[in-house]
Structure 1
Amino acid sequence: MARAASLLLLSVLYFTTTAMAAAPATEHSGDTTFIKTSCKSTSYPALCVRSLSAYADAIQQNPRQLVLTALSVSLSRAESAKSFVMELKKLKNLKNREIEAIADCLEEMGDTVYGLSKSIKEMKHLGQAKDQEFLWHMSNVETWVSAALTDENTCVDGFASKALNGNIKDSIKSEIINVAKVTSNALALINNFAASQ
């Protein structure tokens, strides 16, 4: 019972911090048409629009800024999910298999945060890069974001066993799948940006 209460408290804390991290302090007043149009090419268009619309003023109609914002949102959610998994690791009465799966997931989420951070830095350095230099930078971004998505999916796969069924598995899968969807959307926007240059 105490474990379930702890898990519920952690879930509420995660959703609160994720919502605060994913949205700016002020309401947006910008036009979201560009965001809605761009999000149509993603796997989760409604989530894409929801996660980026609050940043319409900053994005304007700038495809590079759209990608940077999508990556930043993904990174923020990945960091929150990593913190959530870290807190779960502290719960008492975990099964040995849960402890192992959580530890593996924590490593994967660390790799995700690293890859997304690297991709944001690379996008910021893109600047006025042209031709081969541009392609090289974009290839790096695509590689790191693809790897981050793989890491997120590997975390979820670590809980595939029926022996791990329960609140821990359900909570972690829910958090990481949300991050994976946002990361997938960011990757689609990156690919579109690269193809349009």
Structure 2
Amino acid sequence: MSQLTALSFLLLLCIFCFAGTAKSTTVGKSSTSLGYIKTSCSATRYPTLCVKSLSIYANKIQQNPQQLAEAALTVSLNKARSAAAYVSKMTRVKGLKGRQRQAVKDCVDNMGDTVDRLSRSMKEMGQTGRSSDFSWHMSNIQTWVSAALTDENTCSDGFAGHGMDGNVKTAIRARILNVAQVTSNALALINRFASKHRA
């Protein structure tokens, strides 16, 4: 083996070794992050959904409670936007009458408020690390996310009663329930972040 060939072989060997180390480090970090997410989610009302919805953010979250709370808010906002668009489309469904049509219209308003409050919460979360007034920012976020959860439940409650049965009710309530569950989880993780920071 010539000196040049030997040098090339050693260089390739070093590259493979470095790549393997980098990969194992990434896997290690991801595994640690998932463990952190699972532990944190155990404090929520819907832990399985919590882990499932936040796992894709594991590399960003690491073991950072603020990143965890932000990721949970992101999930909630994305779901709320999707549900709001869906409910808005349902207002154009033919055959809606009386209470059912009114319930859909009310739900459009509720989901609009939800999206607005969660959007404001996301912006406010970005201020928590840049301001000395952490408690004030967190109080705003907790209030808005709690209000968003109330809006979601109000929308769902609007379809209560046998006179409201039907495909529209089933479809809307299923989507709103999912939004309410991820919002509930987000609020729990936000409260956890707030209490740890203040401790």
Residues 82-118 of structure 1 show CA distances to partners (whole Å, capped at 9, x for unaligned) of: 1110111111111222110000000000000000000
* Cα separation, 1, equivalents of 2:38 and 2:162: 39
- Residue of structure 1 aligned with 2:105, choices 103, 106, 109: 103
Q: Count residues with an aligned counterpart.
A: 168
Q: CA deviation at 1:129?
A: 3.1
Q: Which residue of 2 aligns with 1:155?
A: 155
* Cα separation, 2, equivalents of 1:153 and 1:139: 21
Q: CA deviation at 1:46?
A: 0.4
Q: Secondary structure at the match of 2:45?
A: coil
Q: CA deviation at 1:166?
A: 1.1
Q: Which residue of 2 aligns with 1:144?
A: 144
- Structure 2 length as normaliser, TM-score? 0.82
Q: Which residue of 2 aligns with 1:79?
A: 81
Q: Which residue of 1 aligns with 2:9?
A: none
Alignment of 1:1-16 (within 5 A): none
* 2:115 corresponds to 1:113: yes
Q: Which residue of 2 aligns with 1:44?
A: 46
Residues 141-176 of structure 1 show CA distances to partners (whole Å, capped at 9, x for unaligned) of: 000000000000000010012211111111111100
* Cα separation, 1, equivalents of 2:117 and 2:44: 20
* 2:96 corresponds to 1:94: yes
Q: CA deviation at 1:81?
A: 0.4
Q: Which residue of 2 aligns with 1:177?
A: 177
Q: CA deviation at 1:128?
A: 3.9
- Listed as ranges, the gaps of 5+ residues in structure 1 are 1-27
Q: Which residue of 2 aligns with 1:56?
A: 58
Q: Which amino acid aligns with 1:51?
A: S
Q: Which residue of 1 aligns with 2:187?
A: 187
* Cα separation, 2, equivalents of 1:128 and 1:179: 29
Q: Which runs of 4+ in 1 moved over 4 A?
A: none
Q: CA deviation at 1:64?
A: 0.4
* Cα separation, 1, equivalents of 2:121 and 2:80: 14
For the pair shown, the structure with the greater C-alpha radius of gyration is 2
What is the root-mean-square deviation in Å for CA atoms of aligned residues?
A: 1.2
Q: Which amino acid aligns with 1:163?
A: G
